Structure 1
Amino acid sequence: MTTTRTLALCGGAFAAALISAGSTQAQQAQTPPANVPPQAVTPAAATQPGLWDRPALTGDWGGARTRLADNGVTFTLNEVVDAVHNFNGGTRDESRAAGQLFLGATIDTEKAWGVPGGKIQATIFNRQGNSLANDVNLGLLQPVQTIYGRGTIWRLGQLWYEQSFNDGATALKVGRVTHGEDFGATPCGNVMNLILCGPASSQIVSGYLYNMPVSSWGARLRQRITPELHLNLGVIESNPENLREDRGFYLGTQGATGTIYAGELQWTPKFGANNDLPGTYKIGGWYDSSDSNNIAYDVNGDYQAVTGLAFAREGHHSGVHANVQQQLIAPQTDGSHGLSIVGNLAVADRETNRLRAKTAVILSYTGLIPGRAKDDVTFGVGAAIVNGRVTDAQQAQNDAGLRVGDPQDTEYAFELNYGYKLTPAVTVRPGVQYIHNPGGQADRDGIVVGGLKLVFTL
């Protein structure tokens, strides 16, 4: 791909023009996550609203969108752009932009064909653009653009069928799935730095747990235990072939290395005198039966980075995760003055993973500015923690004169942004990131990155 400094600057100019033209226009609800399907658009009537009132920029397609939805077929289309510029850090100051086009179709089988409790989901992605972290050598543990990665190609992100039983208490899903859609999922549409974006588990072990746009064959069983308590159990093929950039629509099983077993318990209480403070609490874990190299030790139990011998072998990967979404202050009827929190934690095994853990907390407040009830200001802080065995191995390299610089430990990310709801279909989110101890190295200066996230519902 060619350099995208121009894309980033044009994106900023385009956003500024839209803001100027529509500062008094309608606003949309909370921005959907950038790397999971946003809320499907189902227009209430075939009447085409004006540009500034449309829930989707492409409108109702002359009434076809509404008719299709009434017959059980809902289309979800959006484009997300992460444009960034580094003001400090890296080999030079540059601007880059990355984008993702999301094309999804959901079929309600009861409406479409009279089959109760069925649902079909098909989703494809196209990613475009460039990575600032890669192009200017920021040397980070996690990138500053969540939307970049897995190749600037088309990919099949979902293709599954779900059937509900027992009045919805039980649901079985089979097909092309991702670990992150069912286990440890939390929204990250309000932030750009990947340390802050959930699900944390799939991001610290991205070599074998995949988020969209990379899918694998799998199945998930969801069981409602009580109205507020659910259990998810899943099995997913562990297959690195799915990562290849020439396998965006690969449906085979050749190259599979094992099976991922995943589980999660989910609690969805409502607090407050009026039950207006909903929350979602998750705890779970995973186990991958694939063989792998030890992350630090050789066949003799010494540090491989010092001896250069073959790595010791391990018989599995594993880890645990916990997630929280909680409304802390209920918004007013117009959506203003609501405060919510999102928390993520994932811890991987010490034997096979370079990153030991990732944790983040994100706070969002709506309606800070009078007259902008559904805008939000969001602040997040998080940390990516290097496996202590990797840190010790690097220190051993330093002692042997094979390496210089502080060993890697913990990288911290801070992000502050403002979500401007330009129209129900367009969100403009300028912000700034600060990365402390880039790459987990205390002897490196901090990095400052300005960002502009654009979200278009099409």
Structure 2
Amino acid sequence: MKLSIKPFTILLSSTFVSSTVFAFQPLAHDQKWMLGDWEGKRTQLEQQGYQFNVAFQNESALNLSGGYDDSPRLFNANQWLFGTRLDLEKIVGWKDTQAQLSITKRDGQSLSNDRISDPRASQFSSAQAIYGRGQWWRLTNAWIKKGFLDNNLQFKVGRMGLSDDFNGSHCEFQNLMLCGGQLGKTVGDVWFNSPVSQWGVNAKYQFLPTLWFGTGIYEVNPENALERHGFNLDMNQRKGVLIPVELAWKPNLVFFDGLSGEYKVGAFLSTAEARNVSIDENGNFQPKAVDRKWQNNKHSVWLNAQQHIFAPEDDSKRGLFISANFTLNDKATTVVENTQQLALWYKGAFDQRPNDTVGLGLARFDVNERVRDHQNASNQLLGLTEADYTNPKYTPIQHDELNIELNYNFQWSPSLTLRPNIQYVHQPGGVKQVDDTWVAGLTMKLNF
């Protein structure tokens, strides 16, 4: 029998256990952990180099109107995280050395899968970012990082997600296309983000105070992404390697009163063979993927930018932030040709709520025109046109999709955050026949 734990039950039970065993106030505004500081022992352990993290996140989504199936229903997706970060310089005297181990468990259902998208078409975004990559336990991090040359040169080796170190971006939203790096959503057959991990090694070098260069080598192993292979440690099914490079600039720009920013440009090359999206070795259209030719690589480029553009004079941590992310993918092997993302959020809009944020984000993707050509050709072979959209054999034609989210991030305390949001999806899955969708969402984060 499958055990389902509701977020409210978790909150009540943790409150009861914390209050009776550790004798503290779990809902105090300054409470760092739901389970308390263990009479100061937890802070003492952190100072000695042992940092523990147990976190729970739930994302609820309700379709208000539109979508492939407009019958309203509330869906919940959730994730547990159990992790530890070790400062090995403090623990065993290894200078500039850290290690991390974390395990995640995902569960729940997807509103986008069940209500918003046409099931005959590829889905790219999701109203719940933490849904996906299998509802199962996974080893998400198991790595060690060592610094050299006064920590200007860093090497990291072990199990990790690619966007932990490359094409990374902040996640201030519940919608998947607005949360974190973009490549895991559009080239997810070779680029694995958290919670999936793979073996890899990377190096980053700070050659100027504001300039970093990074590169690495990661396995391309499709077995890592399978649902019940979350602890797969062998490389028997490896298909190749993925090599990313990235240049990062982190200035304090005078134009923005010296506020911090981060600007990154990067690219990757995967040596794993990938199917062409439409043609065979002779350049002829093939409706079935198994008949299309193999390409000997896959590649993408990206640009990430984030800037703190305004802050009140009395608190430089507050103010208005903006981010922009762009990706351009290989047209021969990738369904989504490019993505664009723009987001703004204001932290501390109200003096009495200095840690709350108001966020507005827009994310758009374009489907590769070669994919549309093969979708049209597939329908023509069956004598179908757009007028036959309701025919089960019809292949939906995919164009572009736009996702918009407006939210308010209410931080009750460092251990409890609620983020109500409203989402709008234009042309779900890029299919023009699917009605635009309005979604009401709520993210809850608990830090135990």
Normalising by structure 2, report the TM-score. 0.88
Please tell me whether the aligned partners of residues 101 and 127 of structure 1 are also in contact (alpha carbons under 8 angstroms).
yes
Amino acid aligned to 1:322: L
Please tell me whether the aligned partners of residues 26 and 34 of structure 2 are also in contact (alpha carbons under 8 angstroms).
no
Among candidates 60, 66, 87, match of residue 37 of structure 2? 60
User: What is the CA–CA distance in structure 2 between the aligned matches of 1:273 and 1:82, rounded to whole Å?
Assistant: 38
- Give the corresponding residue for 1:421: 411
Please tell me whether the aligned partners of residues 116 and 428 of structure 2 are also in contact (alpha carbons under 8 angstroms).
no
Please tell me whether the aligned partners of residues 195 and 359 of structure 1 are also in contact (alpha carbons under 8 angstroms).
no
- Give the corresponding residue for 1:291: 273
- Give the corresponding residue for 1:116: 95
Among candidates 292, 298, 305, match of residue 324 of structure 1? 305
Q: How much is the aligned-residue C-alpha RMSD, in angstroms?
A: 2.6
- Give the corresponding residue for 2:46: 69
- Give the corresponding residue for 1:176: 159
- Alpha-carbon distance, 1:373 to partner: 2.7
- Give the corresponding residue for 1:409: 399
- After superposition, the Cα gap between the structure-2 partners of 1:3 and 1:450, relative to the gap in structure 1 and judged at 3 Å, is farther
SS at match of 2:372: helix
Structure 2 residue 89 is the aligned partner of structure 1 residue 98: no
- Alpha-carbon distance, 1:177 to partner: 1.5
- After superposition, the Cα gap between the structure-2 partners of 1:234 and 1:456, relative to the gap in structure 1 and judged at 3 Å, is same
User: What is the CA–CA distance in structure 2 between the aligned matches of 1:334 and 1:368, rounded to whole Å?
Assistant: 12
User: What is the CA–CA distance in structure 1 between the aligned matches of 2:334 and 2:241, rounded to whole Å?
Assistant: 17
1:433-444 to 2 correspondences below 5 Å: 433-444=423-434
Structure 2 residue 191 is the aligned partner of structure 1 residue 209: yes
SS at match of 1:241: helix
1:374-423 deviation per Cα after TM superposition (whole angstroms, max 9, x unaligned): 21110001102111110122223344424645621110001101111112
SS at match of 2:279: strand
- After superposition, the Cα gap between the structure-2 partners of 1:50 and 1:294, relative to the gap in structure 1 and judged at 3 Å, is closer
- Give the corresponding residue for 1:107: 86
User: What is the CA–CA distance in structure 1 between the aligned matches of 2:434 and 2:129, rounded to whole Å?
Assistant: 23
- Give the corresponding residue for 2:112: 133
Please tell me whether the aligned partners of residues 299 and 310 of structure 1 are also in contact (alpha carbons under 8 angstroms).
no
Amino acid aligned to 1:394: Q
1:182-331 to 2 correspondences below 5 Å: 182-188=165-171, 190-272=172-254, 276-305=258-287, 310-331=291-312
- Alpha-carbon distance, 1:278 to partner: 0.3
Please tell me whether the aligned partners of residues 327 and 340 of structure 2 are also in contact (alpha carbons under 8 angstroms).
yes
- Give the corresponding residue for 1:347: 328
Amino acid aligned to 1:371: Q
User: What is the CA–CA distance in structure 2 between the aligned matches of 1:308 and 1:101, rounded to whole Å?
Assistant: 36
Normalising by structure 1, report the TM-score. 0.87
User: What is the CA–CA distance in structure 2 between the aligned matches of 1:411 and 1:332, rounded to whole Å?
Assistant: 40
Q: What runs of 5+ residues in structure 2 fail to find an aligned partner?
A: 16-21, 390-395
Please tell me whether the aligned partners of residues 358 and 382 of structure 1 are also in contact (alpha carbons under 8 angstroms).
yes
Larger deviation, residues 231-240 vs 128-137: 128-137
- After superposition, the Cα gap between the structure-2 partners of 1:412 and 1:165, relative to the gap in structure 1 and judged at 3 Å, is same
Larger deviation, residues 276-285 vs 85-94: 85-94
- After superposition, the Cα gap between the structure-2 partners of 1:150 and 1:371, relative to the gap in structure 1 and judged at 3 Å, is same
- Alpha-carbon distance, 1:77 to partner: 2.3
User: What is the CA–CA distance in structure 1 between the aligned matches of 2:153 and 2:290, rounded to whole Å?
Assistant: 50
- Give the corresponding residue for 1:361: 342
User: What is the CA–CA distance in structure 1 between the aligned matches of 2:80 and 2:374, rounded to whole Å?
Assistant: 41
Larger deviation, residues 59-68 vs 337-346: 59-68
- After superposition, the Cα gap between the structure-2 partners of 1:123 and 1:50, relative to the gap in structure 1 and judged at 3 Å, is closer
- After superposition, the Cα gap between the structure-2 partners of 1:410 and 1:50, relative to the gap in structure 1 and judged at 3 Å, is closer
Please tell me whether the aligned partners of residues 277 and 289 of structure 2 are also in contact (alpha carbons under 8 angstroms).
no
Amino acid aligned to 1:245: E
1:191-212 deviation per Cα after TM superposition (whole angstroms, max 9, x unaligned): 1111112201122111110011
Please tell me whether the aligned partners of residues 262 and 287 of structure 1 are also in contact (alpha carbons under 8 angstroms).
yes
- Give the corresponding residue for 1:432: 422
User: What is the CA–CA distance in structure 2 between the aligned matches of 1:206 and 1:375, rounded to whole Å?
Assistant: 32
Please tell me whether the aligned partners of residues 319 and 349 of structure 2 are also in contact (alpha carbons under 8 angstroms).
no
1:287-334 deviation per Cα after TM superposition (whole angstroms, max 9, x unaligned): 1101121111133312212x8871111101111111011001024535
Amino acid aligned to 1:187: H
Please tell me whether the aligned partners of residues 386 and 440 of structure 1 are also in contact (alpha carbons under 8 angstroms).
yes
- Give the corresponding residue for 1:31: none
User: What is the CA–CA distance in structure 2 between the aligned matches of 1:234 and 1:176, rounded to whole Å?
Assistant: 13
SS at match of 2:191: coil
1:64-94 deviation per Cα after TM superposition (whole angstroms, max 9, x unaligned): 2122212211112221111000011232211
Among candidates 360, 364, 367, match of residue 379 of structure 1? 360
- Alpha-carbon distance, 1:224 to partner: 0.6
Please tell me whether the aligned partners of residues 334 and 374 of structure 1 are also in contact (alpha carbons under 8 angstroms).
no
- Alpha-carbon distance, 1:258 to partner: 0.2
Please tell me whether the aligned partners of residues 143 and 157 of structure 2 are also in contact (alpha carbons under 8 angstroms).
yes
Structure 2 residue 437 is the aligned partner of structure 1 residue 450: no
- Give the corresponding residue for 2:131: 148
- Give the corresponding residue for 2:18: none
User: What is the CA–CA distance in structure 2 between the aligned matches of 1:365 and 1:137, rounded to whole Å?
Assistant: 29
User: What is the CA–CA distance in structure 2 between the aligned matches of 1:63 and 1:3, rounded to whole Å?
Assistant: 34
- After superposition, the Cα gap between the structure-2 partners of 1:333 and 1:76, relative to the gap in structure 1 and judged at 3 Å, is farther
Please tell me whether the aligned partners of residues 68 and 434 of structure 2 are also in contact (alpha carbons under 8 angstroms).
no
1:22-61 to 2 correspondences below 5 Å: 51-52=27-28, 53-61=30-38
Amino acid aligned to 1:457: N
Amino acid aligned to 2:73: E
Please tell me whether the aligned partners of residues 421 and 427 of structure 1 are also in contact (alpha carbons under 8 angstroms).
yes
- Alpha-carbon distance, 1:343 to partner: 1.2
Larger deviation, residues 61-70 vs 395-404: 395-404
Larger deviation, residues 151-160 vs 58-67: 58-67
Please tell me whether the aligned partners of residues 294 and 312 of structure 1 are also in contact (alpha carbons under 8 angstroms).
yes
User: What is the CA–CA distance in structure 2 between the aligned matches of 1:135 and 1:81, rounded to whole Å?
Assistant: 18
- Alpha-carbon distance, 1:136 to partner: 2.6
Structure 2 residue 143 is the aligned partner of structure 1 residue 160: yes
